[in-house]
Amino acid sequence: MRLTRCGHACVRLERDGIVVVIDPGVFSDPHALDGADAVLVTHEHVDHFAEPVLRTAAEADPSLRIWADRSVVDRLGALGGRVTVVGHGDAFDIEGIGVEVHGELHAPTHPDLPRVTNVGFLVGNTDGAVFHPGDAFTVPTRAVDTLLVPVHGPWSKTGEVIDYVREIKPRRALSIHDSGLSEGGNGLVDGLIMAGVRDSATAYARVASDAEIELTR
């Protein structure tokens, strides 16, 4: 499987010519949805779900399918059966690419702010699965080969990010969700995460926007 970073929380995953895009939001590459076969959306926040962009892409390509939580699907209702509601425990197939859904709620930001729903997507087969948690520290019920790590957000601190990577124990951890940090801030967080997982079997790496990675075993 090939992974392309498309800015902030958005990635493209491609295998055997099938393209799956996760969380195309307002900070994403405007071309992230070009040629996509399917879109997965973890939750309703605009940095993960740019409704006008996704709606335009769906109207331009009648074959584009979307899987998301209830709040997102309700806003895309006019697209009918091309949009599917998913929740924790669901599993489905996209042209031979298996997807499992894990998680229910966004990580808490503040007691005064309501928590929205949030689902994570585990994409791929058992020995090469990629997990995108959205805005949560969800731990899937099976092994994760590549963890997409939300390195910064108003709902987290770096110590929690380190503990999350340690708990998942992926073979590879790649940075996402970092547009709120400057270049220097990203460098600082990267150093802390690397130090935090140094004694584990996990290899952590920063992935620049537009970078492509072949997710080989």
Closest CA to 149 of 200, 99, 117, 186: 186
- Both tokens of 82, joined, read 């091309």
Contacts 24+ apart (CB under 8 A), 161-167: 161/189, 161/193, 162/192, 162/193, 162/196, 162/197, 164/137, 165/193, 165/196, 165/197, 165/200, 165/202, 165/204, 166/196, 166/197, 166/200, 166/202, 167/137, 167/139
- The 3-state DSSP class for residue 126 equals coil
With contact defined as beta carbons under 8 Å apart, do 82 and 93 qualify?
Answer: no
pLDDT, tens digit only, all 217 positions of the chain = 999 999 999 999 999 999 999 999 999 999 999 999 999 999 999 999 999 999 999 999 999 999 999 999 999 987 888 999 999 999 999 999 999 999 999 999 999 999 999 999 999 976 679 999 999 999 999 999 999 999 999 999 999 999 999 999 999 999 999 999 999 999 999 999 999 999 898 999 999 988 999 997 6
Q: 176: closest CA among 197, 153, 150?
A: 150
Nearest to 41 by CA among 31, 26, 30: 26
- What is the pLDDT, as a whole number, of residue 80? 82
What pLDDT, on a 0 to 100 scale, did the predictor assign at position 90? 97
Q: What is the pLDDT of residue 24?
A: 98
Over the stretch 125-156, which tens digit does the pLDDT of each residue have? 766 799 999 999 999 999 999 999 999 999 99
pLDDT at 217: 64
Question: What residue ranges define each of the domains in the chain, with the CATH number in brackets?
Answer: 2-210 (3.60.15.10)
Distance of CA 114 to the CA centre of its chain: 21
Q: C-alpha distances in angstroms, 128 versus 10, 26, 199? A: 19, 29, 22
Q: Give CA–CA dist 143/148, Å, rounded.
A: 14
Among 159, 164, 180, 94, residue whose Cα is nearest residue 131: 164
Token readout for 127 is 């020995």
Residues sharing a CB contact under 8 Å with residue 190, sequence separation 6 or more, in sequence order: 151, 175, 204, 206
